[in-house]
A = this chain, B = another copy of it.
Amino acid sequence: MTLDTNWYTEEWSGQGTAISLKFKSKLHDEQSPYQRIEIYETETFGRLMTLDGLVMVTDRDNFVYHEMMSHPALFAHPAPQRVLVIGGGDCGTLREVLKHDGVTLAEQVELDERVTRVAEKFFPDLCASNNDPRARLRFDDGIAWVAKATPESYDVIIIDSTDPVGPAAGLFSEAFYRNCFKALGPQGILVGQSESPLFHAELIRSVQKSMRDSGFKDVATLHFPQCTYPSGWWSATMASKQGGLVNFRRPASNKMFTTRYYNSDIHQGALALPQFLRK
């Protein structure tokens, strides 16, 4: 079959595969100083934001990604107070971070202010915590920000970036991870999105190695479904300065905030590596 014109299609780069979402209307289209930002009203996935033609977020399935980018790292730290989010312009990760009562500062450093302004307009749910007094929205270069950060000034750093090409490439480098290591306290946790286990296993291994080589004692990759990202399967790779990523905190279910995907069993399950990623 051939899709008619009311479909947004993203070809998964180099993978001979593509995903399409049927839309009712296009709500927004702008060229920011950094990228083209488009918003569609889809038929069954709510709103869709694309950056330079790549799916960033949809209303329907973003919960898995945002919860898995935030809660495993925060529960891997014994008492996270100061959290830095690099990228994350749609603010969905920031919202999840702020669900943790112990957090006193959630600082987000996004390069492109327009992404956040557009998200505030079209994804109000994701931006619901932007005015939390603990939130600080910075629009700046995350690589430079971490390089200049006061040593040991954060408990958790979350790299909620786009793919490792263009401006985001530096967010996958050992040099950057070394600066994260310095900026983290002695029990600090780093986590970064690390693409698809099916499509990018080599990248995952490279991120793991670079994090280890940067001085982190323990490194672990989490995997989870993400329907609208390439292959429908995604990962995040965590690193800990003191080790022990398997010993994360498990709040009693009646002390947990509301989530739709995350719980402690899901956290542990996401750490189980498929056989082909072991060794």
Give chain A's interface residues, CB within 8 Å of chain B: 1-3, 5, 7, 9-11, 14-22, 42-45, 53, 60-61, 64, 197-198, 223, 225-228, 231-233, 259-263, 265-266, 268-276, 278
Contact = CB atoms under 8 A, between A and B. Distances in A.
A17 B9 contact: no
Contacts of A223: 225
Given A43-B16, A233-B227, A272 B266 contact: yes
B1 A17 contact: no
A63 to B, nearest CB: 8
Contact of A260 (B11, B53, B274): B274
Contacts of A226: 232
Contact of A2 (B9, B15, B233, B262): B9
Given A272-B269, A274-B261, A53 B233 contact: no
27 contacts: A1-B11, A1-B53, A2-B5, A2-B9, A3-B11, A3-B18, A9-B20, A16-B21, A17-B19, A17-B20, A17-B44, A18-B20, A20-B20, A60-B198, A197-B225, A225-B225, A225-B232, A231-B232, A232-B232, A232-B233, A260-B276, A263-B278, A266-B274, A268-B268, A268-B269, A269-B269, A269-B272
- Among A11, A15, A232, A265, find the residue whose CB has the most chain B CB atoms closer than 10 A: A232
A16 B9 contact: no
Contact of A227 (B21, B198, B259): B198
Contacts of A10: 1
Contacts of A61: 198
Given A18-B20, A227-B232, 15 more contacts: A1-B11, A15-B44, A16-B22, A16-B44, A16-B45, A17-B21, A17-B227, A223-B225, A225-B233, A226-B232, A231-B232, A232-B232, A260-B274, A265-B273, A266-B272
Contacts of A42: 16
Given A261-B274, A268-B269, A274-B266, A19 B19 contact: yes
A19 B17 CA distance: 7
A278 B263 CA distance: 10
A95 B61 CA distance: 34
